[in-house]
């Protein structure tokens, strides 16, 4: 999908998500989540420098609803694996938004106390 322009990338991402939801495909490992988010990153972040004034609100809402439907397809019966899926999803989204991916924060190390 690297060779596609921004609009074609968005269309392909929408087709991938629609196929996953139509077939009720469960995304059950964090490795699959990482690959999937790489494929749909055009729906999560602005790749072509479009400003908010240039965005069609109806298209934007449809794209975000597709991403939300995809997130609902992330599931694993094992709590530890589901936790990994959730964490990798948050990290990937923060990285795509230009943040460092640290979901706890820079000022505190990760400990049970900082999480809860």
- Whole-model pTM: value is 0.70
Residue 1 maps to a domain: no
Question: Tell me: the pLDDT tens digits for 57-107?
Answer: 888 889 889 999 999 999 999 999 999 999 998 888 888 777 554 544 444
9, 47 in Cβ contact below 8 A? yes
Residue 38 maps to a domain: yes
Rounded CA separation 99/82 (Å):
23
Torsion over CA of 15, 34, 49 and 99, rounded to 10 degrees?
150
Instruction: Quote the number of domains for the chain.
Output: 1
Residue 102 maps to a domain: yes
Residue 31 maps to a domain: yes
Beta-carbon neighbour count of residue 95 at 10 Å?
Answer: 15
Rounded CA separation 71/52 (Å):
24
Q: Residue 109: which domain range?
A: 6-115
Residue 85 maps to a domain: yes
Residue 69 maps to a domain: yes
């Amino acid at each position: 999908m690297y060779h596609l322009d921004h609009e074609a990338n968005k269309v392909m991402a929408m087709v991938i998500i629609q196929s996953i939801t139509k077939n009720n495909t469960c995304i059950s490992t964090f490795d699959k989540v990482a690959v999937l988010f790489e494929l749909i990153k055009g729906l999560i972040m602005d790749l072509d420098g479009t400003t908010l004034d240039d965005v069609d609100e109806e298209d934007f809402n449809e794209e975000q609803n597709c991403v939300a439907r995809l997130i609902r397809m992330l599931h694993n019966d094992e709590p530890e694996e589901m936790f990994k899926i959730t964490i990798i999803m948050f990290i990937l989204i923060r990285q795509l938004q230009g943040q460092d991916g640290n979901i706890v924060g820079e000022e505190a190390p990760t400990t049970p106390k900082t999480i809860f």
